[in-house]
Amino acid sequence: MLSPMDGLLRPVHQWVWGDFDRRVRKLLAFAEVETDGGRDILRAAELTPDPLLRRLYLEHAIDELHHGHLFRERGAALLRQRSARATTRFNGNPLPGGHGLDDLRIEGEPDHRLLAFLHVAEKAAAGRFMIYRELVDDDPATRAIFEQILRDEVFHMNYTYTQLARISPRSHRWQIWRARGSRLWKRYLRVAAAIAAVFGTVMISLLYFIVLPPFAWFARRAERREAPGWTPIPGRRHDSSESRHSQY
């Protein structure tokens, strides 16, 4: 279940979970993603024409809403333990959320595409929650939440696969590869946008510190050469303006 990428990113995960403030922020961010995902899956339950899927989606939605509640409660409890102080230099999170359900689109999506998307997202979530569970070893209450949620994510991962194989027996593997490809593409776009933002900031800074100073130096030199006070307009130019006025 653990993806090679998550294995490589383990030190970053460690850095995120090792700090109290970042841990609280991450838990609260998970609460949002899980709750939003739960609402979307509830909508999927309303839309599907398949009675068995409706029941499973409902169960899934209840689980995700429950996960959101657990994360929110734990984040709030940690905040109560120590009033949040913005002592960390970087409070952002360079990694995507545990679940990836924030990319979920329900309207107009047929069940086979939705199930493939959910299967890939749940599998990734299960792998990531396994890492998080180990990284919060110092905090048994948070670890217990990850353990509980991990069991649900494994159930979600398995039922989405079984149901996808039931409704698209011939193309379920292809559907999963397509969902994986689209997930990777979205990740790539996110990383590319972040790199473009950093690159833009570096370019603007270079322009400011390298290209602008010579102009400032020339402007100062020109200023020194200028005589102070009013400068008389050359006579010829003055005459021509007068002659122009006389024409009217």
Q: Which residues in this chain contact Fe ion in the complex, by CB under 5 A?
A: 34, 64, 67, 122, 153, 156
**Shortest distance in whole angstroms from residue 199 CB to Fe ion:** 35
**Shortest distance in whole angstroms from residue 62 CB to Fe ion:** 11
Distance between CA 178 and CA 175 in Å, rounded?
A: 5
Distance between CA 151 and CA 149 in Å, rounded?
A: 5
Q: Indicate the residue among 15 and 39 with the shorter CB distance to Fe ion.
A: 39
The secondary structure element, H or E, covering residue 68 is helix 51-81
Q: Indicate the residue among 106 and 231 with the shorter CB distance to Fe ion.
A: 106
Please choose, from the candidates 11, 122, 19, 111, the residue with its C-alpha nearest in 3D space to the C-alpha of residue 64. 122
**Shortest distance in whole angstroms from residue 197 CB to Fe ion:** 29
Distance between CA 52 and CA 30 in Å, rounded?
A: 28
Q: Indicate the residue among 40 and 122 with the shorter CB distance to Fe ion.
A: 122
Distance between CA 239 and CA 245 in Å, rounded?
A: 10
The single-letter code of the amino acid at 244 is: R
Q: Indicate the residue among 118 and 135 with the shorter CB distance to Fe ion.
A: 118
**Shortest distance in whole angstroms from residue 38 CB to Fe ion:** 8
**Shortest distance in whole angstroms from residue 99 CB to Fe ion:** 5
Please choose, from the candidates 169, 44, 159, 178, the residue with its C-alpha nearest in 3D space to the C-alpha of residue 108. 44
Q: Indicate the residue among 24 and 100 with the shorter CB distance to Fe ion.
A: 100
